């Protein structure tokens, strides 16, 4: 149990708006960190950065059903509210917005009146494997931004496609918020932190490191061109039989479209794979020479 006071938990939209109005009236700036809960050090890096950006931090904890498909892990997604509140209390976070599904979707999550489409990019990569996922993400992010009206919002680099789409939505819809990008936080062996890592047993946890190993290999080969990047990643992945690859691809950082043959310039290497029953993603920024 934390010796620090826990954040005040706000469970209604009206209650959150009252808090925001109070803080704004006092002249204080606000930073929002949206999460699904099950917090780890990656999330806490967001919270710590938010303290540098704004006077008041709000962390939302909401397992959003509209971003989970019918065959995904919504029901087993880890929910650790008590532990989350203790962690946030240690960092001095004053408010947690933790609405119910009914509060966020009064007509039901399967039929919200208005949704935001992620478009062509939203149907690729993660969106191809998880139909409708990014429409659900963008819709709930837009709702959270409308409810909390922050000056700053933090998003992590680990989900590069989500970050691209959120940035594009903020720009396209003229949402008055500054997007703060938080670098991926990793274990000492390179595995990107994820709430889903807790589903891995010891052998799966060992195998999962191959995702970051393949990305590092790709980055190391980047000076030799695109073919070398792909060959290096494939070579690394061949050494681990416990990982079922979904995709490995190189995208243009400006368009998020796959780069053409012979491409040179800044890019992101994306990887997604299933380790046992757990699906993991990662990415790496590189410059193809």
Boundary of a domain, candidates 156, 182, 208: 182
Structural domain for 142, as ranges: 8-182
- What is the pLDDT at residue 171? 98
pLDDT tens digits, residue range 140-152? 999 999 999 999 9
What's the confidence (pLDDT) of residue 263?
96
Work out the angle between the directed axes of helices 133-148 and 160-172 (0-180°, nearest 10).
Answer: 50
**pLDDT computed for residue 252 by the predictor:** 97
39-73 pLDDT per residue, tens: 999 999 999 999 999 999 999 999 999 999 877 77
In a domain, 130, yes or no: yes
Contact between residue 29 and residue 56 where contact means Cβ atoms under 8 Å apart:
yes
Give the pLDDT confidence score for residue 103 in this predicted structure: 98
43 is annotated as an active-site residue:
yes
- The answer as to whether 2 is a domain residue is no
List the chain residues with pLDDT less than 50.
Answer: 1
How far apart, in Å, do the first and last CA atoms of the chain sit? 52
Q: What is the pLDDT of residue 129?
A: 87
Q: Are 141 and 150 in contact (CB under 8 A)?
A: no
Quick one: 102 and 199 in the same domain?
Answer: no
What does the pLDDT read at residue 255? 97
Per the domain annotation, does 277 fall within a domain?
A: yes
Q: Which pLDDT does position 87 carry in this prediction?
A: 97
Among residues 4, 43, 46, 206, which one is catalytic?
A: 43
Q: What is the pTM of this model?
A: 0.95
pLDDT at 190: 97
Residues 13 and 126 reside in one and the same domain = yes
Please check whether residues 66 and 171 belong to one and the same domain.
yes
Q: Are strands 152-156 and 178-182 parallel, antiparallel or unpaired?
A: parallel
168 and 240 housed in the same domain: no
Q: What confidence tens digit (pLDDT) does each residue in 210-243 have?
A: 999 999 999 999 999 999 999 999 999 997 889 9
Looking at residue 125, what is its pLDDT?
Answer: 97
Give pairs for 161-168: CB < 8 Å, separation 24+: 161/121, 161/124, 161/125, 161/126, 161/127, 161/134, 161/256, 161/270, 162/126, 162/134, 162/137, 164/121, 164/256, 165/118, 165/121, 165/122, 165/134, 165/137, 165/138, 166/137, 166/138, 166/141, 168/121
């Amino acid at each position: 149990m934390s010796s620090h006071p826990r954040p005040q938990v706000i469970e209604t939209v009206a209650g959150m708006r009252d808090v925001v109005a109070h803080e704004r009236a006092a002249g204080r700036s606000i930073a929002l960190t949206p999460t699904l809960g099950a917090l780890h050090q990656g999330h806490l890096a967001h919270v710590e950065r938010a303290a540098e950006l704004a006077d008041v931090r709000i962390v939302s904890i909401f397992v959003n059903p509209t971003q989970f498909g019918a065959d995904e892990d919504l029901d087993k997604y880890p929910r650790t509210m008590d532990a989350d509140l203790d962690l946030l209390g240690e960092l001095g976070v004053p408010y947690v917005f933790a609405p119910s599904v009914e509060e966020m979707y009064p007509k039901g999550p399967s039929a919200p009146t208005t949704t935001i489409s992620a478009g062509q990019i939203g149907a690729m990569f993660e969106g191809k494997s998880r139909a409708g996922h990014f429409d659900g993400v963008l819709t709930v992010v837009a709702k959270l931004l409308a409810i909390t009206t922050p000056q700053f919002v933090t998003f992590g680099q680990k989900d590069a496609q989500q970050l691209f789409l959120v940035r594009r939505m903020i720009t396209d819809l003229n949402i008055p918020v500054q997007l703060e990008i938080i670098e991926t936080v990793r274990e000492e062996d390179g595995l990107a932190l994820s709430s889903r890592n807790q589903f891995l047993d010891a052998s799966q946890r060992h195998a999962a490191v191959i995702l970051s190993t393949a990305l590092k290999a790709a980055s190391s080969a980047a000076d030799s061109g695109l073919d070398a990047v792909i060959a290096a990643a494939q070579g690394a992945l061949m050494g681990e039989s416990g990982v079922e690859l979904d995709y490995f691809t190189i995208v243009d950082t400006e368009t998020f479209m796959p780069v053409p043959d012979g491409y040179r310039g800044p890019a992101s290497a994306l990887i997604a794979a299933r380790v046992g029953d757990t699906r993991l993603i990662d990415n790496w920024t590189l410059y193809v020479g």
